[in-house]
Structure 1
Amino acid sequence: MQNSTVHPYIPNTVPSVIEEMLAVTGASSIEEFYEDIPQSLRVKGLLNLPEPFLAEAELEEHVTGLLNKNRSTREVISFLGAGVYNHYVPSVVEEVINRSEFLTAYAGEPYEDHGRFQALFEYTSMMGEMLNMDVVNVPTYDGMQATATALAMAGRITGRSKIIVVSDVNPDLLSKVTDYVRSHTELVFVPTVNGLVDTAALAAQVDDATSAVWIQTPSFHGALETSGQAIADLAHEFGALLVVGTDPIAYGSLTPPADWGADIVCGDIQSLGIHQWFGGGRGGFIAVHDDPKFVMEMPSRLFGLASTSVEGEYGFGDVAWDRTSFALREEGKEWVGTAAALWGIAAGVYLASMGPTGMADLGNTVLARTAYAQQQLAAIDGVELGDSAAHFREFALDLSASGKTAAEVVTALRARDIEPGVAIGEHGLLVCVTERITTAHIDTLVSALTDFLKEK
């Protein structure tokens, strides 16, 4: 039976309006509009929602009650990661992005530009310098979209449809990429060995139909790939591209993928001066060399120095605009709508305030504390490391020999105001160590985990 309640904020819930829209479209029911959505993604049954609130005050009270159930990672010792990271955000970042000329910098054009274009140009310039790439886009919606777009670009550039996935990829990222490219691309998976790419297995899979070899480094488990050059050589031997998904915060201390053969580098900028925002602070980047073959396949906005209507005068603005879906509309190679311009400005302020020395210190600190955490946790009876690769920020623990499941560990330590990590499978625990995690925090985790595993 159709609900007769009219939603106060959605006028199209009026039953008569629904019937009118169905009549115009020729559909017999709303369900027809959702036929393309796989059954596996659909909610079965009803959502756990209250009855509609007809008064705004009641709705506000309800939502406030839901929000009060959350606990910020500032209230606990948090080793949570898996895609959103608790890095420190300098106060100057919030000061700048809360200025009125930046705060509404979404994707549309302002009537007047009070520095937004230059701010984004500076961000892309600093990203390019850190990644040793020439061209970086204005941030897309998130790193998942950026990665999917990078792989789609590889398909268009090579005219091929096979992507070889060689790293342990975040399941959420893989899900989004698969959904994005599944209509025109085949994904082939090569299992990792000890957390790293199995180059022998890759050599058996790469061929003339391969558009790209896709590496994630650090991987979902935080492993740093050490055979990048050999992988790049394998891909290039068959005319395929090397697409590297990564986190830019690592490249104050690590060699950027461009230096070992990456053709396209992509990922998320959340770690660069953007709070976790309960999973909402995301922005995707794509970086390529200064090659028109690659640049003209980038659907995202690019900001650079452009000539003006006054001869000899230059300003900051869109470059190569004619390649975008904004200019080409339905003839565009790929549609890109939502941008995350404000987060690009935040990342630019962050990079400027940190500088090369600060980014190097940060990277070295995270590497050192990650190694310390691995060493101390692996010394606990019943706890083993998931692999012996070098790791940045994250690593997996195997709790199989402890007699406890990962879910039990999370529940027990959460009661002690410690978020020990993300449970992956029955006995896997993904632990994340940022610069905000001190050796004292690590020692606290070790002590609490040791005590819990000793319990009968």
Structure 2
Amino acid sequence: MSTTQKKTVYPYIPNSTPQARQFMLDAVNAKSVDEFYADIPKHLKLDGLLDLPAPKLSEFGLKRHVQKLLNKNTSTEDNLSFLGGGCYQHHVPSVCDEVNQRSEFVTAYAGEPYDDHGRFQALFEYTSLMGELLEMDVVNVPVYDGFQAAATSIRMACRYTGKRKALISGAINPDKLKMITTYCQADVDIHVIPVDQKTGGLCRASLKDLLDDQTAVVYFDNPNYLGVIEDGEAICSLANEAGAVPAVAVDPISLGVLAPPANYGAKLVTGDIQPLGMHMQFGGGHAGFIASHDEPDMVMQYPSRLFGIAPTEVPGEYGFGDVAFERTSFEKRENGQEYVGTAAVLWGITAGVYLATMGPQGMQEIGEGILQRNCYAKQQLSKLPGVNVPHFDQPHFKEFVVNFDDTGKTVAEINLALQEKGIFAGHDLSADWPELGQSALYCFTEVHTQNDIDTLCQALTEVL
């Protein structure tokens, strides 16, 4: 009987074959894997095997295993959802999925203008449509998400002004604030502006106290995380008077009914294009944009790619390609404004399809529809005993805070009871916003019907 130990070869890890492993060891003059990792201190190594399930050695077995995991998910397609807080359930026109699944776009990971004309024109059209929506001249190719776009805009403002003090509204997503802090901590001095507990917006008195001649940027969301529409003109005016850059994050789907930040003094506008034709995808369908006026000094602060149009050698023909490529890390990594990696290009193309499909009238109608649904939801929820709506007496867009203090129940208890009825209720704010008591952030978009809102109110009546 052979005493040779059987070697397991994993079909999805080519280097698991004994021949491949030995080839790699020979290439680095190591006699064994342990010798290869000899430089790692012993106390950092795991002595033994990981507690992992048995490998799936066939495609069928792996597929069955993954499908069982996926079946545990409960999506917003199965339940009635009123979740928002940064990732939103909007209607996705079928043409968006049709275009972004075309192999020409899905597989076009990289490439330059001379070998990928279609993708670069599609991105130019996207940035042009976004520029029209935002009333800005320059829009970047999408970065990972709106969080990164916000952090990058703050760093851009610091480079532009030569200052390092950043004032950030506290009325933003707590996760976004953590991301901004992490991204900027090396060379940006961050100060958080408190939230006005009466309005739910940025406290302008605190802003005035914090502003000085060392302030590089004043950043705020409009609408903010609590759904409140800020007085953007007043905030931007204070920032501009102090010589700071007003940077505003905006929900692009609101711009059919709300003035774009450029109209009230913003120099940088950021946000996430997820509402523009992207499914929620369990939190994965995100891409961030940054926009500015065509001011050369500001344009040179963009770390990400910008696309322009230029004539070719053939009269009457035009090409699409990078603008000021030398400021990116793609040209020379050590000279880039910031390191730039993979962009969310496919979502930019998708958003371009969405904007082209909707047009100005469509964007206005969807904004009006969202405002109408929010108004109806406030009216109906305010009739429920113990429910305080709206918590802030300010205009809102798409989402607003609902307070349950007078019901005697916690948001966690209410949400669990509603989930048993097939309803995803609002985000629980009690942990990150304890000053709001037992409050939740409820979201209403164009996908919600009057019957959906009535169903929510009836379910709340039963659980309260």
TM-score by length of 1: 0.89
How many percent of aligned residue pairs carry the same amino acid?
A: 52
Counterpart position of 1:150 = 153
Counterpart in the other structure of 1:331? 335
Q: What's 1:162 paired with?
A: 165
Matches within 5 A, 1:27-66: 27-28=40-41, 50=53, 52-66=55-69
Decide whether aligned partners of structure 1 residues 118 and 381 sit closer, same or farther in structure 2, where only a CA change above 3 A counts: same
Deviations 1:397-450 (A, max 9, x none): 111111111111111111111112222226221111010011211111011101
Deviation at 1:307, TM superposition (A): 3.7
AA partner of residue 399 (structure 2): E
Residue matched to 1:138: 141
User: Do residues 449 (structure 1) and 453 (structure 2) align?
Assistant: no
CA distance in 2, matches of 1:108, 1:299: 18
CA distance in 1, matches of 2:138, 2:314: 26
Aligned residues, how many?
434
Higher mean alpha-carbon deviation, 110-119 vs 145-154, is at 110-119
Residue 431 of structure 1, aligned match among 421, 442, 456:
442
Mark the structure with the bigger radius of gyration. 2
The answer for the alignment partner of 1:172 in structure 2 is 175
Distance 1:338 1:29, change over 3 A: farther
Judge conservation of contact 1:249–1:359 (CA < 8 Å) in 2.
yes
Amino acid at match of 2:440: L
**Aligned mates of 2:34, 2:156 — CA distance in 1:** 42
Which AA in structure 2 matches 1:28? P
| TM-aligned CA deviation for residue 185 of structure 1 | 1.2
Which amino acid letter does the alignment assign opposite residue 147 of structure 1?
A
Show structure 2 runs of 5+ residues with no match. 1-6, 26-31, 432-437
Per-residue deviation, residues 239-270 of structure 1 (Å, max 9, x unmatched) = 11111111111101100001101010001100
Contact between 1:406 and 1:423, CA under 8 Å: does it hold in 2?
Answer: yes
CA distance, structure 1, for counterparts of residue 395 and residue 357 of structure 2 = 28
Please state if 1:417 is matched with 2:422: yes
Tell me the CA shift for residue 184 of structure 1: 1.1
Determine the structure 2 residue equivalent to 1:214: 219
Does structure 1 conserve the Cα–Cα contact (< 8 Å) formed by 2:112 and 2:321? no
Name the CA distance, whole Å, in 2 between partners of 1:164 and 1:216. Answer: 12
- 2: CA distance between counterparts of 1:73 and 1:105? 30
1:279 and 2:283 aligned: yes
TM-score w.r.t. structure 2 length?
0.87
Separation in structure 1 between the aligned mates of residue 175 and residue 51 of structure 2, nearest angstrom: 23
Structure 1 counterpart of 2:441, one-letter code: L
Aligned AA (1:335): Y
Q: Is the 8 A contact 1:12 1:18 kept in 2?
A: no
Q: Is the 8 A contact 2:148 2:179 kept in 1?
A: yes
Query: Is the Cα–Cα contact under 8 Å of residues 129 and 352 in structure 2 kept in the other structure?
Result: yes
Matched residue, 1:400: 405
- State the AA in 1 paired with 2:222: T
1:79-94 counterparts in 2 under 5 A?
A: 79-94=82-97
Aligned to 1:128: 131
Choose which of 384, 388, 392 in structure 2 pairs with 1:380.
Answer: 384
Indicate how the Cα distance of structure 1 residues 273 and 48 shifts in structure 2: closer, same or farther if over 3 A, else same.
farther
Residue identity in the other structure for 2:103: S
Tell me which amino acid in the other structure corresponds to 2:286. Answer: R
Which deviates the most, 172-181 or 4-13? 4-13
Amino acid at match of 2:291: A
Gap regions ≥5 residues in structure 1: 33-45
Other-structure match for 2:396: 391
* SS of the residue 1:396 aligns to: strand
Shift of 1:57: 3.9
> 2:116 matched to which residue of 1?
113
Distance 2:121 2:176 in 1: 31
- How far has the Cα of 1:331 moved from its partner? 1.9
Once the 2 structures are TM-superposed, how far is the Cα of residue 105 of structure 1 from its aligned partner? 3.3
Q: Distance in 1 between matches of 2:341 and 2:378?
A: 42
Measured against aligned partners, the alpha-carbon deviations of 1:76-114 in whole angstroms (never above 9, x if no partner) come to 211111111110011111122222222223344487335
Q: Say if 1:47 and 1:366 are closer, same or farther in 2 by CA, change over 3 A.
A: farther
